[in-house]
Amino acid sequence: MTVGNHDAVEVILTKRDGHTLSTSQIDWMVDRYTQGAVADEQMSALLMAILLNGMDRREIADWTAAMIASGVRMDFSSLSRPTADKHSTGGVGDKITLPLAPLVAACGVAVPQLSGRGLGHTGGTLDKLESIPGWRALLSNDEMMAQLESVGAVICAAGDGLAPADKKLYALRDVTGTVEAIPLIASSIMSKKIAEGTGALVLDVKVGSGAFMKDVDKARELAEVMVALGTDAGVRTVALLTDMQTPLGYTAGNAIEVAESVEVLAGGGPADVVELTLALAREMLAGAGRDDVDPADKLADGSAMDAWRRMIQAQGGDPDATLPVAREEHVVTAPSDGVLTRLDALSVGIAAWRLGAGRERKEDPVQAGAGVVWHARPGDAVTAGAPLFTLRTDTPERFDRALAALEGGYDIAAPGTSYTPGPLVIDRVGAQE
């Protein structure tokens, strides 16, 4: 890392005027900001200049490297099996990590899955797992390594030591209108994933109303930048662009998504959740050099479920415990006979959030049992008066705002209307040779 000697105004002016930042300027700015020597106001100005003027591939790689250098790097080379990880850009009903990590472990690849909490309408993996009695998200590095060797999968919170610059920058981007800058999104995700030390990485870049990226071209651009960053850092990286116009499965919440994930591990579950879990598993296995194993076999023979049970038990959870159930529920019935032709992921996500499944601020608690169950997916016939949604919460005063979120969030066409679903996996982005 070449920190050099600069001043913040010089760096800001360079990017403001549309020029490229040198490696030395980037190293200096990220290092000094992490140390508290560059003020929030100055970094805010630089972030806005990056949003407006962009960065080239070398600048993004340098920015990512500087964020990695702000903290520790993990090393899994002592494990007896290869490692692969998955990162999702977030969606509604996106419980894929839960069945995916034990499934890939059952295929002989270790999965060090450092996950986060939900904010806004996208659910957090750790919040979901914490609905299992006794399960804990915080593990020491030694505990994590031991569990990866013995079980093959761990889903836990990232320690403060990984890319601490990202934590500061993420909070600042949130309050300065610079969240959407692709160089900053890509470096935020990839600095943590590269520092995590995994050998192969599969990115699930969501596209659609319930996703961070609404537009497929922007999503593809983000995927290409992240794949390039991973590849340049020596991590075998691939991205799938996947549909998030419609929420995944039939549930959005915490405990109810765990229950649906267990159905998948038991060999059942919603077809779309199974399809995406297997698609991502195959990419992870290929990246780790184990594409000789078919993950579908491990769902069918129960070994993925066995790995799930061991993973939950290793982190203090009881895989046989009864999951929390919300105290109150409200059923929304179909207003007419017909065919459900649209179910808007964002509307469902906001409804689940308003019921208490998500949080507005990082420090807010979540309700384990809150969320939305939908009883039909696009293409299904519905009957007037039959349940369309079940809303669940411990605090019934939340129902009205959740119902408001669902208004206009679905369409029912005349009986017999034909419906052709779009692909779940829209595109694949691999390393450019």
Q: Active site includes 95? A: no
Q: Active site includes 121? A: no
| Span 14-59, pLDDT tens digits | 999 999 999 999 999 999 999 999 999 999 999 999 999 999 999 9
pLDDT value at position 119? 67
In CATH, 328-413 is 3.90.1170.30: yes
Please state, in angstroms and rounded to a whole number, the distance separating the CA atoms of residues 306 and 41: 51
Q: Which of 93-107, 153-167, 233-247, 374-388 has the lowest mean pLDDT?
A: 153-167
373 Cβ contact partners less than 8 Å away, ≥ 6 residues apart: 250, 251, 256, 389, 390, 392
Q: Active site includes 188? A: yes
Annotated active-site residue in 173, 220, 290, 377: 173
Give the length of the chain: 433
- Domain residue ranges of the chain, discontinuous segments joined by +: 8-54, 84-320, 328-413
Angle at CA 252, nearest 5°, toward 248 and 253?
A: 145
Percent of the chain scoring above 70 in pLDDT: 98
Annotated active-site residue in 62, 127, 166, 204: 166
Annotated active-site residue in 6, 15, 86, 87: 87
- Mean per-residue pLDDT, 113-121: 81
157, exposed or middle or buried, with CB in 10 Å at 0-12, 13-18, 19+?
A: middle
Please state, in angstroms and rounded to a whole number, the distance separating the CA atoms of residues 103 and 108: 9
56 DSSP assignment:
-
- Mean per-residue pLDDT, 211-228: 95
Percent of the chain scoring above 90 in pLDDT: 90
- Mean per-residue pLDDT, 58-79: 95
Task: Supply the DSSP string of 88-125, one letter for each residue.
Answer: E---SS--THHHHHHHHHHTT-BEEEEE---BTTB--H
Cβ contact 283:238 at 8 Å: yes
Q: Active site includes 206? A: no
Cβ contact 71:129 at 8 Å: no
Among 121, 226, 152, smallest CA distance to 183 is for 226
Would you put residue 66 in left (φ > 0), alpha (ψ -120 to 50) or beta?
A: alpha
Annotated active-site residue in 115, 131, 187, 188: 188
Question: Would the pLDDT of 322 be above 80?
Answer: yes
CATH of the structural domain 84-320, one choice from 3.30.390.30, 3.40.50.800, 1.10.10.10, 3.40.1030.10: 3.40.1030.10
> For the chain, how long is the longest CA-to-CA vector?
70
| Span 354-412, pLDDT tens digits | 999 988 777 788 999 999 999 999 999 999 999 999 999 999 999 999 999 999 999 99
Please state, in angstroms and rounded to a whole number, the distance separating the CA atoms of residues 263 and 358: 23
| Same fold across 84-320 and 328-413 | no
Annotated active-site residue in 6, 86, 192, 206: 192
pLDDT value at position 174? 83
Q: Active site includes 261? A: no
Q: Into which CATH architecture does domain 8-54 fall?
A: Up-down Bundle (1.20)
Cβ contact 403:332 at 8 Å: yes
Please state, in angstroms and rounded to a whole number, the distance separating the CA atoms of residues 194 and 165: 14
